[in-house]
Amino acid sequence: MQCFKTIEYLKNSYGERISQIADQRRSGKKLVGTFCLFVPDEIIFAAGADRVILCGGKNDTVSIAEQYLPRNICPLVKSSFGSIVNNGCSGIRSCSHFSMVDMIVAENTCDSKKKMYELLGEYVPTYVIDLPQKPDTPEALKYFLSELEKFRGVMEQLTGNKVTTEGLRQEIRSSNETRRLFHRLYELRKEDPSPISGSQVLKILQKQYFLSPDKLKEYLRMLIEEVESVEPGQVRKPRIMVSGCPMPGGNTKVTDIIESRGGVIVAEESCTGTRSFWYLVDEDKDPMTALAERYIKIPCSCMSPNDRRIDNILELAREFRVDGVIHYTLQFCHGYNIEKQKVQKALKEAGIPMLSIETDYSDSDVEQIGLRVDAFMEMIS
Amino acid sequence: MQCFKTIEYLKNSYGERISQIADQRRSGKKLVGTFCLFVPDEIIFAAGADRVILCGGKNDTVSIAEQYLPRNICPLVKSSFGSIVNNGCSGIRSCSHFSMVDMIVAENTCDSKKKMYELLGEYVPTYVIDLPQKPDTPEALKYFLSELEKFRGVMEQLTGNKVTTEGLRQEIRSSNETRRLFHRLYELRKEDPSPISGSQVLKILQKQYFLSPDKLKEYLRMLIEEVESVEPGQVRKPRIMVSGCPMPGGNTKVTDIIESRGGVIVAEESCTGTRSFWYLVDEDKDPMTALAERYIKIPCSCMSPNDRRIDNILELAREFRVDGVIHYTLQFCHGYNIEKQKVQKALKEAGIPMLSIETDYSDSDVEQIGLRVDAFMEMIS
C-alpha cells in the first residue's frame, strides 16, 4: 500500500497542537475536553473555546484506573479515566492534553461512562449533558434541545462570550465542510482495490477531535489530493468493514491485525468512522434545533431501538462493496455486545459474512484474534 | 429466629395467584409484565389490567439466555430473558406467569436491560418507557411525564378502558397504603434484636410485584401483626444492611449466606427493598404529575448524579442502627459496581464498615463469599 505524506505529517502533529493549545490558554482561551460524538462541537467553538477529545486508547493507563474503577468494565472508560487521574507518580506518561482542559463536557450514553463521569468530577470540573435514549420522538428531541440550550449557557459562562445564532451558523457550516471532506475521502475508498488502507485512514479519524478544525480540514484536503493521484492498484484484497466500538488514539489493535492478515478496511461503522461525519447539520434551520436533530440521530448503541444503525450498516456494506464485516466490541461494552445479535441477523439476511471480535487494549489475544481473522479471510476470499 | 405463618402462606401463594390470573385472562382482563420499579403500577391498574414482575432470579434459565446474549452481562438480565424465551424444549421449567403476559412494559435503565428489551420484542409485545438519566431538573421531569402520558395511552389501547383521573387517584391511594404497610414492617426491624430475619422479609419483598395489590396488603397486615407479637429477643446479632442490586424471586443467595453466618439483615437498600416503597406519591397533586415526580426519584444507579441514594444509605444506616453494610453487586452491573466507590467513601466518612460482594446466581462462590462474610462479622461484632 502506498505511503502518504499527509499521514506522516499527522503522526507528528501532536507537538504542534499542544503548543497551539498552550499559547491559546495563555491568552485566555478556554479548552473543553469531550469524550463523545453527542457533544456538539459547534456550540463549543461558537463560544470561542477550543476542544480536544479525551477518549483513551492506551493500555498503559488502564492499570491506574483499576485502582478506582472495577476491572470488568470497558478499556476505553478505564484508559480515559486513568489518563486524567494519572499524576505521574506511576511512571506512566499521559498525553499532555489530558491535563490542560478547563472543563470536561460529558454526556449520558453508556452505564460505565455515565458513572465514571461522576468520579471524574472530583478531578476536573465536569458538565454532563443528558441524552434521551429513544431517538425518534418529538418529546425526546425537545428534551435533548433543552439540554443543549443549558449546555450553551454553560459554555457562555465558561468563556464569558455570547453564543450567537450567527456564530452557530458559521460553526455549523465549518463542521459540515469537514464532514463533506470526510465523505470525499471515503468516496475514494469505494474504488477496488482501495487506494488507501484502513490503518492510514484511522490516523486521521483518531485525530479529528484533537486537531483544530482548520488544521483538520487542511490535512483532509492534502490527503484527498494525495489519494486521488494514486495509480489504480492491481492486487485485490478482501474488503472489510469494521463495525462497532470506537478505536481512540493509541488503539489500532484490530485494524492492524486485519490489515496485517491480508485484508483492507474500506469503511468503519464506528465513532472513529462514519458515525462522526455521516449526517450533516441542516444549515437552513434554526441552528440549535438543527444541531439537536442531527446529533440525536447518531446511531450509538445507547439508542433504543437503534434501527438506524442496522440500516446504515447495510447501506455502507453495499456502497463500499464489502466482502465481510468484522464486528468489533470492546470487552464489557454491553450495548454493542448485545446489539451484535441484530447486526448479525441483518447481515446474514443480506448474505454478508460477519466475524465477531470482543477484545480489550492488551496484546494478550493478538495471535488468537489473528488466527480467527485468517480463517475469516479464507472464507470470504 | 421465630417462624411466621404468613411467610409459610407466602411460600405457597404461587399456585393461587396463577389460578387467579388464568381466570382473569379468560374473562378478558389483560396482564402486563414489568421488570422495574420505574414503571408505575398505578397506571396499569387504573386501566383495569393486572401486573406481574418478570425479573428472573433463577440460575437455571441463564444458560438458555446465553444462546442469544453475551455471557458477560448481568445474571438478572440473562435469567429474565431465558425465562421468557424458554420454550420448554430445554427441559428447564420457567414459572408459568412468564408465558401469560399480554404485554411487557419495560424502561430504559441500564445498558443490558435496554438492549435485551429490543430482542424480547420478537417474543412478546414490548413497550418501552424512556427515562431521563438526570433526576433533578424540571426538563427531565417534563420529559418523563410525557413518556408516562404515552404509556397511559398504550394501557388504554391494550385494555380498551379509559384511565381516568379518579381511577389514578384511587390506585395512588391504594399503592401508598401498601407503601405505608412496608414502612410499618420495616419500623419493627429497628428493634434490637430484630424480631424478623432478612430472609423472611425477602420472601414478601420478592412477591410484592407478583401478588395482587389486595393480597399483598393482606399478607403485609398479617405479617406485621405476627411480628408485633414477638417477644423481645435476647441474642444480639450483627445488624447488617444490604445495599445494591436487587434479588428477584429465585435468588436468595447473599441473604442466605449473611444470615447463616450469624448476621441479621435489618434493611435492604435495593429494588427488592426500600427503593420500592420508601417514597410515597403525593395524593393531593394532579395524579400524573405526582406519579412522574415520585417515580423519577427512585435512586437507581442509572441516575446521574445519584446523591439521593448515598443520602438514603446514610439515613437508613442511622435509622436501622446497622453495624455494617454489605454492598451487593450482580456481576457485570456497571452502574452499581462503579457507584460503589461513592457509597464506600460516604460510609467510611460516617464510620460504618462496608464489605463488597460481586457475584452471580451460581453456587460456585458461596463458600468463598461465606469466608469473607465471616471475617466481616468478626470485625464488626
Query: How large is the ipTM?
Result: 0.96
Residues A155 and A208 in one domain: no
Q: What is the pLDDT of residues B151-175, one digit of tens each?
A: 999 999 999 999 999 999 999 999 9
pLDDT at B375: 98
The three three-digit cell numbers of residue B297, written as one number: 426519584
Boundary of a domain, candidates B109, B141, B163: B163
Residue of A nearest to B65 (CA): A338
Residue B237's CATH number: 3.40.50.11900
> What is the count of structural domains for chain B?
2
Residues A206 and A251 in one domain: yes
Residues B64 and B129 in one domain: yes
Cβ–Cβ under 8 Å, residues A61 and A178: no
Q: What is the pLDDT of residues A309-340, one digit of tens each?
A: 999 999 999 999 999 999 999 999 999 999 99
Long-range contacts of A290-296 (CB under 8 A, 24+ apart): A290/A172, A291/A40, A291/A42, A291/A43, A291/A148, A291/A168, A291/A172, A292/A141, A292/A144, A292/A145, A292/A148, A293/A141, A295/A37, A295/A38, A295/A40, A295/A144, A295/A148, A296/A131, A296/A132, A296/A135, A296/A140, A296/A141, A296/A144
Residues A234 and A102 in one domain: no
Q: In terms of C-beta density within 10 A (0-12 exposed, 13-18 middle, 19 or more buried), how is residue B307 classed? A: middle
- Separation between Cα atoms, residue A292 and residue A269, nearest integer Å: 21
Residues A132 and A24 in one domain: yes
Residue B107's CATH number: 3.40.50.11890
Residues A41 and A186 in one domain: no
The four Cα atoms A268, A269, A271, A274 give a dihedral, to 10 degrees, of: 80
3-state helix/strand/coil string of B54-83: CCCCCCCCHHHHCCCCCCCCCHHHHHHHHH
Q: What is the pLDDT of residues B47-81, one digit of tens each?
A: 999 999 999 999 999 999 999 999 999 999 999 99
Cβ–Cβ under 8 Å, residues B176 and B278: no
Reduced to 3 states (helix: H, G, I; strand: E, B; else coil), residue A336 is: helix
Residues B86 and B222 in one domain: no
pLDDT at B20: 97
pLDDT at A98: 85
Boundary of a domain, candidates A106, A132, A162: A162
pLDDT at B24: 97
pLDDT at A356: 98
Residue of A nearest to B114 (CA): A304
Per-residue pLDDT of chain B (381 residues; tens, 9 = 90+): 789 999 999 989 999 999 999 999 999 999 999 999 999 999 999 999 999 999 999 999 999 999 999 999 999 999 999 999 987 777 777 778 888 999 999 999 999 999 999 999 999 999 999 999 999 999 999 999 999 999 999 999 999 999 999 999 999 999 999 999 999 999 999 999 999 999 999 999 999 999 999 999 999 999 999 999 999 888 999 999 999 999 999 999 999 999 999 999 999 999 999 999 999 999 999 999 999 999 999 999 999 999 999 999 999 999 999 999 999 999 999 999 999 999 999 999 999 999 999 999 999 999 999 999 999 999 998
Percent of chain A with pLDDT over 70: 100
DSSP for residue A269: E
Residues A210 and A157 in one domain: no
Residues A12 and A129 in one domain: yes
Nearest to A80 by CA among A198, A251, A275: A251
pLDDT at A322: 98
Mutate to test the interface with B, among A66, A69, A111 (most CBs of B within 10 A): A111
Verify cis geometry, omega within 30 degrees of 0, for the bond prior to A305. yes
Residues B43 and B145 in one domain: yes
Residues A138 and A179 in one domain: no
- Separation between Cα atoms, residue B158 and residue B152, nearest integer Å: 10
Q: How many CA atoms lie within 13 A of A22 on its CB side?
A: 9
- Separation between Cα atoms, residue A337 and residue A302, nearest integer Å: 11
Residues A147 and A108 in one domain: yes
Q: Is the pLDDT of residue A90 over 90?
A: no
B269 part of contact set with chain A, CB < 8 Å:
no
B137 part of contact set with chain A, CB < 8 Å:
yes
Structure confidence at residue A33 as a pLDDT band (50, 70, 90): very high
Interchain pair A72, B72: CB under 8 A: yes
CB nearest A335 (choices: B115, B132, B150): B115
Boundary of a domain, candidates B106, B140, B163: B163
CB nearest B133 (choices: A69, A112, A114): A114
What is the domain range of residue A43?
A: 5-162
Reduced to 3 states (helix: H, G, I; strand: E, B; else coil), residue B356 is: strand
- Separation between Cα atoms, residue B130 and residue B113, nearest integer Å: 12
- Separation between Cα atoms, residue B259 and residue B119, nearest integer Å: 38
Cβ–Cβ under 8 Å, residues A264 and A239: yes
**C-alpha dist (Å) from residue A302 to A329, B127, B238:** 14, 17, 42
Q: Which residues of chain A have a CB within 8 Å of the CB of B116? A: 338
Residue A323 identity (one-letter amino acid): D
Q: What is the pLDDT of residues A34-81, one digit of tens each?
A: 999 999 999 999 999 999 999 999 999 999 999 999 999 999 999 999
Mutate to test the interface with B, among A38, A150, A152, A338 (most CBs of B within 10 A): A338
Mutate to test the interface with A, among B143, B307, B345, B357 (most CBs of A within 10 A): B143
